[in-house]
Amino acid sequence: MRTVYCDHAATTRCHPEVARRVYEFLTETYGNPSSIHAVGRRARKGVEEARAQVAALLGAQPAEIFFTSGGTEAGNWALRGAMAANRAKGNHLIISPYEHHAVLDTARALEREGYEVTMLDVEPNTGIITPDALLAAMRPTTVLISIMAVNNEIGTVLDIAGLCAAAKEKDPSVIFHTDAVQAAGYIPLDVKALGVDLLSISSHKIYGPKGVGALYVRKGFRFAPGLTTGGGQERKMRAGTENVPGIVGFGLAAEIAARELERRAAHAREMRDLFLRGVLAIEGVKLNGVDPFAHPELRHPGNANVSVEGVEGEAMLLRLDMAGVYASSGSACTSGALEPSHVLLAVGCSRDAAQSSLRFSFGDENTAEDIEYAVEQFAKSVEFLRRLTAPR
Amino acid sequence: MAGRVLMAMSGGVDSSVAAALLVEQGYEVIGVTMNTWTDDIPEEIQMNQHSGCCSLAAVEDARSVAHKLGIPYYVMNFQGQFAGTVIDYFIQEYVRGRTPNPCIACNRYVKFSAFLEKARQLECDYVATGHYAVIGKDDRFPGRWLLGKSVDARKDQTYVLHNLTQDALAHTLFPIGGMEKSEVRALAAKYGFVTADKPDSQEICFVYDNDYGRFLKERVPEAIVPGPILNTRGEVIGQHKGLPLYTVGQRKGLGLTTPRPVYVTELDVERNAVIVGEDEETYRGGLIASDLNWIAITGLTFPRRCRAKIRRMAPEADCTIYPIGEDAVRVEFDRPQRAITPGQAVVFYDGNWVLGGGTIDRAVN
């Protein structure tokens, strides 16, 4: 059976060069970067090279990059580190209502701990946030603003540079974090141009290994160390022996991502557009989010999100899985059961539409023949499920 | 190929073995755990191996069994259907002074309805569960799919399955219905399932601490209103804490000091009163039931002799059933029955086959 991987926003296949590098650091250069001997020093060299590679992808200084266990830890740390270090200024933070759960649930946890959280108003369907909406939410006590660069479900690209500039004009001391997990590798990211203070990214979304990510922390503002105490790694900001194989793999993946950004984005866009043209021709299939044909710059090039009228997303997804087409629904709860996407609900979708939404995210894995097969299977399933619910 | 089956896997020993048997018999099996409820369960209970059947730990157990069997496995969301047809019903019945059976509602509206619908969406020929019951045919009831008692009489679950329609029975498999529980446990151990030693599941899966009184107080505080406890002569002899917290036949927890033990004989919603009487006053000669489902027969047009069960654990009793209109029956027992409880099911048997069943409206003499 043909299999078509349309879930690049969930994770990607590790690039073969990256996999080789990970293997090398598991088996040959296995030293502890804190050790003084040669094999330790070589491991340390690998980690520092990776730091420079990740910094280069973001236009940052290597010393501003801190490795974490992934995007979730980076997002958690961004919120907690900023809030904890700036209690003197206030206890208020602002987030978008469709942040990834790494940010959303951390904000909720902070709320339970006594912090105040404001969720921004967003434009219906697209989720676009205007500078006015952000400025209206700011208070003198606002310590942190966290807005994702690209939404993971509907792919909306936010104008982080514009939002950050507006916020800082109003309050130069406000800290700005952006979750760039989905943006990295597809949208050019330059922390200086964006003007952000904190930015989180993840390795496995850019064809690197899982279990590693990074937080960019601009030099020169108050920010607290991470959650672990111990051996003083990552310049005393995050204790624990470095995940060396993961980090060096991430570094190489970041280097390749920087080099390949335009080609990857163009390929993903071609696949996505091909897919959308196919499925949107089916009656009752509706696009969620920004129309990429009208505003390609406002949507992640690989992201497609559609709802099928009168058909449950779960049934579609499982049928597609059985046919070898791997897609995803908005969000799955801890157990793996599908729940209505919080992102779609946040941008004003009905519960039914949110329950029937399907996300297809394209990337290097895909070919035009793949897309043809995926569209064909999609159409078959819609037809079958509709026939089933039609009055007998 | 014997066909494609959507197998409901709770993470427990019964459905695990059922899944294994289907795989051995050559079916193409897809394992599914039905995610039915998310109460605000304290975390330490969520993660407890022995908590309710849809906890995260149960999902992990079911997934591990599916991996062992090499079958695809999904968790499906039935929270909407379950809340609407099981939890709401459960609450409303108590508010009406009745004693619901949520497992019956779940089987009727979720497992053999919504779940069956999912099976059709995935082009499955059957759904299967780990219930103790059998499905078959018998020339005595031509043209009917029949529901019969399990080989293990103590585990028999036909009482909670009496609402299965002919369509559902035609598309359902009960792989362990022909086995004793001890055999099922032995097989689970043989297969090396993590679930082999798990205790049997608890009474009400969505009330994590089994304290349905607490659950009702949280969900419908306005329906828990203290009132009088009356004896059968209408004299006030005490105070109750709220009608939904009591059930017919109950003796404990009344807070009364009486010379002889007394039992709840009736819950009077209009007067918000609990009526109590002595043991012999809890016995009634018959009942009226409605909301019927017939299995072995297409309907009841003449009085019929059979045996009936008025509670999951009650013994079967000889009786005659008389039709009342289209969707109700009067049941006359040969011997009076104890604690006939409105809201519970009455299920009729002809030998090992289920004739049908319904919901008890009231006891009559």
Indicate yes or no: pTM above 0.80: yes
Cα–Cα nearest to A92, from A46, A136, A58, A140:
A140
For residues A34-68, one letter each, b for 16 or more C-beta atoms within 10 angstroms of the residue's C-beta and e for the rest, the string is eeeeeebebbbebbebbbbbbbebbebeeebbbbb
Q: CA of B69 to nearest chain A CA: how many angstroms apart?
A: 17
Picking from A68-72, A205-209, A251-255, A341-345, which range would have the lowest pLDDT averaged per residue?
A: A341-345
Residues A92 and A66 occupy one common structural domain: yes
* Residue B121 to residue A319, Cβ atoms within 8 A: yes
Q: Helix or strand or coil: residue A271?
A: helix
Query: Does B64 reach chain A within 8 Å, measured CB to CB?
Result: no
Residues A8 and A47 occupy one common structural domain: no
**B319 DSSP β-pair partners:** B306, B333
* Residue A322 to residue B122, Cβ atoms within 8 A: yes
Cβ contacts from A onto B, under 8 A: 39
Residues A215 and A308 occupy one common structural domain: no
Cα–Cα distance measured from residue B35 to residue A228, given in angstroms and rounded to the nearest whole number: 35
Instruction: Supply the pLDDT for residue B208.
Output: 78
Q: What is the CATH number of the domain that holds B62?
A: 3.40.50.620
Instruction: Supply the pLDDT for residue B330.
Output: 98
Q: CA of A356 to nearest chain B CA: how many angstroms apart?
A: 12
> Is the distance from CB of A176 to CB of A192 less than 8 angstroms?
no
Q: CA of B54 to nearest chain A CA: how many angstroms apart?
A: 9
What would the mean pLDDT of B144-148 be, rounded to a whole number? 98
Instruction: Supply the pLDDT for residue A36.
Output: 94
Cα–Cα distance measured from residue B152 to residue B161, given in angstroms and rounded to the nearest whole number: 16
* Closest residue in A to B71 (Cα–Cα): A322
**A7 DSSP β-pair partners:** A361
Residues B128 and B264 occupy one common structural domain: no
- Amino acid letter, A84: A
Q: Is the Cα dihedral A376, A377, A378, A384 positive or negative?
A: positive
Mutate to test the interface with B, among A335, A383, A385 (most CBs of B within 10 A): A335
Query: Beta strands of chain A (E only): which ranges?
Result: 4-5, 65-68, 92-95, 116-119, 142-146, 175-179, 198-202, 213-217, 285-287, 303-308, 325-326, 331-332, 338-339, 357-361
Residue tagged 């009486």 (tokens)? B258
Give me B22's structure tokens.
């289907």
Binned at pLDDT 50, 70 and 90, residue A365 comes out as: very high
Query: Does B283 reach chain A within 8 Å, measured CB to CB?
Result: no
Residues B175 and B265 occupy one common structural domain: no
Task: Collect all residues of chain B within an 8 Å Cβ-Cβ radius of residue A322.
Answer: 72, 122
pLDDT at A82 over 80: yes
Task: Collect all residues of chain A within an 8 Å Cβ-Cβ radius of residue B59.
Answer: 335-336
Of A200, A225, A256, the last residue of a domain is A256
Binned at pLDDT 50, 70 and 90, residue B257 comes out as: confident
Instruction: Supply the pLDDT for residue B46.
Output: 53
- Total structural domains within chain B: 3
Q: CA of B147 to nearest chain A CA: how many angstroms apart?
A: 27
Neighbours of B191 (CB within 10 A): 18
Query: Does A312 reach chain B within 8 Å, measured CB to CB?
Result: yes
Q: Helix or strand or coil: residue B241?
A: coil
Query: Does B43 reach chain A within 8 Å, measured CB to CB?
Result: no
Nearest by CB: B77 against A338, A385, A388: A338
* Residue B35 to residue A337, Cβ atoms within 8 A: yes
Picking from A365-369, B176-180, B200-204, which range would have the lowest pLDDT averaged per residue?
A: B200-204
Query: Does A109 reach chain B within 8 Å, measured CB to CB?
Result: no
Residues A249 and A281 occupy one common structural domain: no
Instruction: Supply the pLDDT for residue B201.
Output: 66
What would the mean pLDDT of B336-340 be, rounded to a whole number? 96
Tens of pLDDT along A21-35?
999 999 999 999 999
pLDDT > 90 in chain B, percent: 80
* Closest residue in A to B122 (Cα–Cα): A319
Instruction: Supply the pLDDT for residue A355.
Output: 80
Residues A236 and A312 occupy one common structural domain: no
Nearest by CB: B77 against A314, A321, A322: A314
The one catalytic residue among B106, B124, B306, B319: B106
Cα–Cα nearest to B97, from B274, B327, B284:
B274
What would the mean pLDDT of A244-262 be, rounded to a whole number? 98
> Is the distance from CB of A287 to CB of A387 less than 8 angstroms?
no
Mutate to test the interface with A, among B5, B34, B75, B82 (most CBs of A within 10 A): B75
- Total structural domains within chain A: 2
Residues B168 and B234 occupy one common structural domain: no
Q: Which domain holds residue B124?
A: 4-191
* Residue B56 to residue A335, Cβ atoms within 8 A: yes
Mutate to test the interface with A, among B77, B124, B171 (most CBs of A within 10 A): B77
Residues A205 and A267 occupy one common structural domain: no
Tens of pLDDT along B82-104?
999 999 999 999 999 999 999 99
pLDDT at A274 over 80: yes
* Residue B122 to residue A319, Cβ atoms within 8 A: yes
Instruction: Supply the pLDDT for residue A266.
Output: 98
Q: Is-catalytic flag, B124?
A: no
Q: What is the CATH number of the domain that holds A72?
A: 3.40.640.10
Of A256, A286, A318, the last residue of a domain is A256
Residues B138 and B96 occupy one common structural domain: yes
The one catalytic residue among B54, B103, B124, B205: B205
Mutate to test the interface with B, among A318, A321, A329 (most CBs of B within 10 A): A318
Of A225, A256, A287, the last residue of a domain is A256
Cα–Cα nearest to A333, from B284, B72, B74:
B74
* Closest residue in B to A335 (Cα–Cα): B56
Nearest by CB: A318 against B33, B35, B74: B74
* Residue B75 to residue A319, Cβ atoms within 8 A: no
Query: Does B45 reach chain A within 8 Å, measured CB to CB?
Result: no
Residues B324 and B264 occupy one common structural domain: no
* Closest residue in B to A311 (Cα–Cα): B121
pLDDT at B49 over 50: no
pLDDT > 70 in chain A, percent: 97
pLDDT at B39 over 60: no
Residue tagged 């819950």 (tokens)? B267
Task: Note whether residue B206 is domain-resident.
Answer: no
Tens of pLDDT along A127-147?
999 999 999 999 999 999 999
* Residue B76 to residue A333, Cβ atoms within 8 A: no
Mutate to test the interface with A, among B29, B121, B124, B171 (most CBs of A within 10 A): B121
* Residue A322 to residue B72, Cβ atoms within 8 A: yes
pLDDT at B50 over 60: no
Which amino acids of A are annotated catalytic? 333
Q: What is the CATH number of the domain that holds A370?
A: 3.90.1150.10
Residues A236 and A275 occupy one common structural domain: no
Residues B16 and B125 occupy one common structural domain: yes
* Residue B75 to residue A336, Cβ atoms within 8 A: yes
pLDDT at A334 over 70: no
pLDDT at B47 over 80: no
Query: Does A383 reach chain B within 8 Å, measured CB to CB?
Result: no
> Is the distance from CB of B287 to CB of B271 less than 8 angstroms?
no
Mean predicted lDDT score pLDDT of chain A: 95
* Residue B118 to residue A315, Cβ atoms within 8 A: yes
Chain B, 211 to 240: residues with Cβ < 8 Å from chain A are none
Instruction: Supply the pLDDT for residue B44.
Output: 58
* Closest residue in A to B32 (Cα–Cα): A337
Residues A249 and A266 occupy one common structural domain: no
* Residue B56 to residue A336, Cβ atoms within 8 A: no
Q: Which domain holds residue A208?
A: 16-256
Residues A301 and A186 occupy one common structural domain: no
Instruction: Supply the pLDDT for residue B45.
Output: 57
Cα–Cα nearest to B60, from B48, B45, B70:
B48
Task: Note whether residue B146 is domain-resident.
Answer: yes
Residues A296 and A367 occupy one common structural domain: yes
pLDDT at A335 over 60: no
Tens of pLDDT along B182-228?
999 999 999 988 777 776 666 688 887 888 899 999 999 999 999 99
Residues B41, B47, B53, B59: what is their CA dihedral angle, to the nearest 10 degrees?
120
Chain B, 71 to 100: residues with Cβ < 8 Å from chain A are 72, 74-77, 79
Mean predicted lDDT score pLDDT of chain B: 91
* Residue A384 to residue B74, Cβ atoms within 8 A: no
Residues A151 and A46 occupy one common structural domain: yes
